[in-house]
């Protein structure tokens, strides 16, 4: 959970291209910018606000990349879920019954 938070939130802000141009970022951030969802959302919104929602201004790339991310996340989630079930693990912890206590006489 912490790794996902760092990658998809903490590193998404500099790689979004909204505050700093992608070309001015170090190579590592430019690599992350290719698949970070915030960059795709920023490009799509920029296309809608400034370029009359033209597909070649970034709107098509935003939709395609967001759809690809949704499919990849769903496949990953269902894959982990299938593995979890094959291993016989339980997603809901079993209820524990409280131990009987002696009643004072």
Per-residue pLDDT of the chain (105 residues; tens, 9 = 90+): 788 777 777 778 888 888 888 888 888 888 888 878 888 888 899 999 999 988 889 899 989 988 998 999 999 999 999 998 888 887 777 677 777 777 776
pTM for this predicted structure: 0.65
Which burial class, exposed, middle or buried, applies to 62 when counting CB atoms under 10 A from its CB (0-12, 13-18, 19+)?
A: buried
First-to-last alpha carbon distance for the chain, in angstroms, is 51
Where do the structural domains in the chain lie, given as residue ranges? 2-86
Give the Cα separation of 105 and 102 in Å (integer): 9
Q: Who's near 53: CB < 8 A, 6+ residues apart?
A: 47, 59
């Amino acid at each position: 959970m912490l790794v996902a938070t760092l990658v998809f939130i903490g590193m998404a802000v500099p790689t979004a291209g909204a505050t700093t141009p992608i070309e001015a970022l170090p190579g590592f951030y430019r690599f992350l910018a290719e698949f970070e969802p915030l960059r795709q959302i920023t490009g799509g919104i920029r296309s809608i606000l400034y370029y009359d929602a033209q597909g070649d201004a970034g709107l098509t790339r935003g939709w395609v990349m967001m759809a690809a991310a949704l499919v990849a996340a769903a496949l990953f989630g269902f894959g982990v879920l299938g593995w979890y079930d094959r291993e016989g693990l339980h997603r809901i912890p079993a209820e524990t019954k409280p131990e009987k206590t002696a009643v004072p006489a």
